[in-house]
A and B are shown apart, each in its own frame.
Chain A
């Protein structure tokens, strides 16, 4: 099987072996056909292969008669903001996001500035599989229009309005940003100046070289962590390369689990809203910390299918207060319909500024659990069956199959899912007791290995 995946985040694959110029053009043509030759924004990140995919995608879109607006190297957040602003019919984002080097992807976005929802995706994929695309004549090919740089100003104007910018600026924070050499570093200076930050950035050259695993996890945060104390910093932000997720390093130098990001934000935003019964949307594999925090503010937590597009789409559809995932991101209903790590960072800074507490003090207020995440390589062909087969081994647990397999015990839970973006099984185990969480991972891993 070729390592290519079609999923909620578009087409993904290993460059060369799975994702080639031809299927990139096919995918772009499918999107051009899906939008009926509309006005499409294109952006890319800094991976080595992104320029190749960018050229392929623009060519494909032009061949469908699309008017292509080129945003150049830009993070997902800026793209999400630009789509409704430019009244575009959609966008394609080229970039590896949190994925390992050698992978890349093309992500389709709708006119509302969000990922396509599952119904739109199904239509797009049908066109892609059918490979009969809209074409235009030589004299109907439209020119490529660069998106004016002023879009960055407009984005930060909007961001500054959505949080308490004054309070943040007054606090005079020192922060360390790790951009993983991704497109976020293009906006670093604006971010710092708008919020009055003394900002120190690392891994901020626009390059395809990945300085560490691009997933914001504690083990990706060592470079930031080693600088926190010497530079007397208030917080460290470890971003993924498309600025959709962030994990935090506290002032005491603790590399926080990415699972802390969402509960910290929810804790602050619910208390700021000061109302009971606000609805919070998350997925089935997010830490129990979130359950506890939402309960503390008398909110309602609803768990939905994993994936940015599912969660946000559900929040918008049901008009909930906020949505987010344990992977390190969230967005509220009055901000962009996409995960935006700048917004998340601003909310965390606001929480620190308004509550006048250090990050380590804020974290101390969270109920903490031990969470163990493991990925097990498995081709998608086998992954679904391997997960399903496990069910019978856990008669003592409460079982849910909303999304993969979730097992609940009184003292913790385990979630098993076939990744929608990679050829992996994602295994998450959480418990108050570190040993229980780890034991369950070992046991399940062994069962999975034996099931081949």
Chain B
């Protein structure tokens, strides 16, 4: 198979590829031009994460936007949620973020934000790609060119917006000691300052913003050994771990126990519903703990497809204030903006800690316990679909959710099989009340997947 075709991935999560292989400046510039035209040749916010290919691709994006008469407003290296906020703050026509989020370091991607400050959904993405495929871009003549603009203070605006919505005085009064794992991403530039503004004393690790990830970039419990040690060594009240672009967050409790990313959403849902009960929207790869918590407040839970934009669209639809993606520790609190935001998640967690007068481990123990584990299998998009079809047939007598892969609901848990939007892999996620049950489910279904011959 041709490797170049294999690593490039167009989806509603943006256009991803490997730098030096499939994601070239040429492709990047044309995509930026297409996006610029698609959004009406106005102001477009441009930002990136700390990856070493970021600057190179940023320049291609700027060139592409300028050439169709857009005015790029450049934020430099900022968290992805900051960009979403800036799109609405500046009433821009859209935004382009250069980040492959949690993908490995050799990857990079363009993510497209619409004028509402939310990512393009599947339909809009397909429209964009349709225009791109047709080629024949309508570039503008030289006298329609606009000048570049820069905004170096974007994160400060983002931070102040968060501070307006939470009880900062209570947090500051507690003077928490916090451990922070920046994953050499955007967090390295801003998170320490953010937490210090909340009166925290911060011990940070992996805090060089050089994009050379010293741990695997997904904030999964197994990747957070050093953060756990740091929490223990410095007696911290809590530990926070970012992904490279600062939209997702995983917790470590005061005993140094790294939580599953699922806990991030469970805890924030608990905290937000306590003050402000209402419907909750999560993706189908989210722990049943959220359902249990919502039930205790008499609130409903709605499930969406995986992917930030799908959760956000359903939140709008159901008029839900809180939601997110359990599998990746992405919290969406619409009061601030409709997008995953690790700074919102950190602020909410600290507020919960400040108002509860309990240790982090006690708080974690008080929420329903589930074990969620997953595995992935290299697999083309087409083959992933065929496998899912096969499972659909085999498990048709179970309670199933079929709008995104296949989720089989079991009395005490669930199994989810779906193709990834960001990598050529098939993901298997299982959840159960007991750890050994989860392990058995994962083992059994892995074997079943491997045995399918398609």
Which residues of A are in contact with B by a Cβ distance under 8 Å?
A: 14-17, 20-22, 24-26, 29, 47-49, 51-53, 55-56, 58-60, 62-63, 101-104, 135-141, 143-144, 208
Contact = CB atoms under 8 A, between A and B. Distances in A.
Nearest to A144: B55
B105 A138 contact: yes
Top 5 nearest A-B pairs (CB, nearest first) are A16-B139, A56-B63, A52-B66, A59-B59, A62-B56
Interface in B204-234: 212
Nearest to A47: B142
B21 interface: yes
B26 A25 contact: yes
Contacts of A144: 55
Given A15-B142, A22-B30, A59-B25, A138 B19 contact: yes
B64 A21 contact: yes
B67 interface: yes
B106 A59 contact: no
B143 interface: yes
7 contacts: A15-B139, A17-B141, A49-B142, A55-B59, A63-B56, A102-B142, A104-B142
B51 interface: yes
B25 A63 contact: yes
A63 B32 CA distance: 17
Interface in B32-66: 32-33, 51-53, 55-60, 62-64, 66
B283 interface: no
Contact of B29 (A15, A21, A51): A21
A101 B143 contact: yes
A56 B62 CA distance: 8
Nearest to A96: B142
Contacts of B66: 21, 49, 51-52, 55
Contacts of B60: 21, 25, 55-56, 59-60
A135 B21 contact: yes
A63 B67 contact: no
Contacts of B139: 15-17, 20
Interface residues of B, number: 39
A137 B33 contact: no
A56 B26 CA distance: 9
A144 B54 CA distance: 12
Nearest to B62: A55
A59 B56 contact: yes
A208 B52 contact: no
Given A101-B142, A140-B20, A26 B137 contact: no
A51 B148 contact: yes
A99 to B, nearest CB: 11
A69 to B, nearest CB: 15
B8 to A, nearest CB: 14
A43 to B, nearest CB: 15
B141 A139 contact: no
A58 B142 CA distance: 20
B53 A138 contact: yes
B24 interface: yes
Contact of A16 (B57, B105, B140): B140
A135 B141 contact: no
Contacts of A102: 141-143
Contact of B20 (A21, A104, A135): A135
B108 interface: yes
A144 B92 CA distance: 29
A208 B56 contact: no
B25 A60 contact: yes
A388 B26 CA distance: 39
B142 A16 contact: yes
A214 to B, nearest CB: 13
A208 B148 contact: no
Contacts of A15: 67, 139, 141-142, 145
A48 B145 contact: yes
A139 B212 contact: yes
Contacts of A55: 59-60, 62-63, 66
A53 B63 contact: yes
A139 B52 CA distance: 7
Contacts of B105: 138-139
Contacts of B142: 15-16, 47-49, 101-104, 208
A414 B324 CA distance: 77
Contacts of B18: 138
Nearest to A26: B26
B47 to A, nearest CB: 15
A60 to B, nearest CB: 5
B29 A138 contact: no
Contacts of B19: 63, 137-138, 141
Given A52-B62, A139-B105, 6 more contacts: A16-B139, A16-B140, A25-B60, A47-B142, A55-B62, A62-B59
Contact of B59 (A58, A135, A136): A58
A345 to B, nearest CB: 29
A52 B106 contact: no
A25 B29 contact: yes
A141 B26 contact: no
A18 to B, nearest CB: 9
Contact of A138 (B108, B141, B148): B108
A42 B51 CA distance: 23
Interface in B100-135: 105-106, 108
B67 A21 contact: yes
A135 B24 contact: yes
A208 B145 CA distance: 10
Contact of A62 (B55, B63, B106, B137): B55
